[in-house]
Amino acid sequence: MLHILGRREDGYHELQTLFQFLDYGDELTFAVRDDGVIQLHTEFESVPHDSNLIVKAAKKLQQQSGTSLGIDIWIDKILPMGGGIGGGSSNAATTLLGLNHLWQLGWDHDRLAALGLTLGADVPVFVRGHAAFAEGVGEKLTPVEPEEPWYVVLVPQVSVSTAEIFSDPLLTRNSSPIKVRPVPKGNSRNDCLPVVARRYPEVRNALNLLGKFTEAKLTGTGSCVFGGFPSKAEADKVSALLTETLTGFVAKGSNVSMLHRKLQSLL
């Protein structure tokens, strides 16, 4: 769900949203350097090296911690770029937590989440690594325990501009705030969906196709579309039918992120 309650004086919007993780994502590899150099070795044509959130996260943590260490970073990019699925924010958070561990800084999650918020509104939830009901611009987090279904995620071959959606005059900006925890059933809508579906026929098509099998939802401002299923077998069956014409994947919902599970295994 993503409800938009109003626009703030700083131009951002007050939101209420529900975050959950997937057991599916990019994979980052780190190697500590002793010369202070931060180098991302995986190149992205559309994102210059120093503009990548991974590099920005590493440099901010290095500067604020005062460490003399550096890092070599590689990424196996699996998640679609510009799909609204949180790949960039997740990678930034993974960098913060990974380097905190490798550089032996000893920062707690509160401090890392505060630094993460300067990189993007969705970074703190990935730093904390637990499913959460979020308010504010997405940074005020209350841990929750929603069901963990299997998801079919469809990836329309279009990149949705978040700024474009949030500046659309037809966007709903006056949803009533939810005051009950957990989020009551029936409050699962995404206020961005009507605007995105009108502007992007590729997304509208994906919503219609997946909607034949389950309630189809938009993740963030899209472009990714998802729907839940009670078993992997059912999700795989629907995915096989839809991915003949659309790109997509099947993943398990998880209330604890894969990053935090990995970190726990290192302790």
Q: Is 201 annotated as a binding residue?
A: no
Q: Is 85 annotated as a binding residue?
A: yes
Given 26, 35, 108, 122, the catalytic residue = 122
Can you tell me which residue has the tokens 């901010």?
A: 60
Q: How is the chain classified by DSSP, letter by letter?
A: -EEEEEE-TTS-EEEEEEE-EES---EEEEEEESS--EEE-S-BTTB-GGGSHHHHHHHHHHHHHT---EEEEEEE--SPTTSSSSHHHHHHHHHHHHHHHHTT----HHHHHHHHHTT-TTHHHHHHTB-EEEEETTTEEEE------EEEEE--S----HHHHHT-TTS---PPPP-SSSPPTT---BTTHHHHHHH-HHHHHHHHHHTTTS--EE-TT-S-EEEEESSHHHHHHHHHHHTTTS-EEEEEEESB-HHHHHHHHH-
> How many angstroms separate the CA atoms of 68 and 71, rounded?
10
Q: Is 81 annotated as a binding residue?
A: yes
Q: Is 89 annotated as a binding residue?
A: yes
Q: Is 25 annotated as a binding residue?
A: no
Q: Is 223 annotated as a binding residue?
A: no
Cβ-in-10-Å burial (0-12, 13-18, 19+) of 78 comes to: exposed
Query: Does 10 participate in catalysis according to the annotation?
Result: no
Name the binding residues for ATP.
80-90
Name the binding residues.
80-90
**Catalytic annotation, residues:** 122
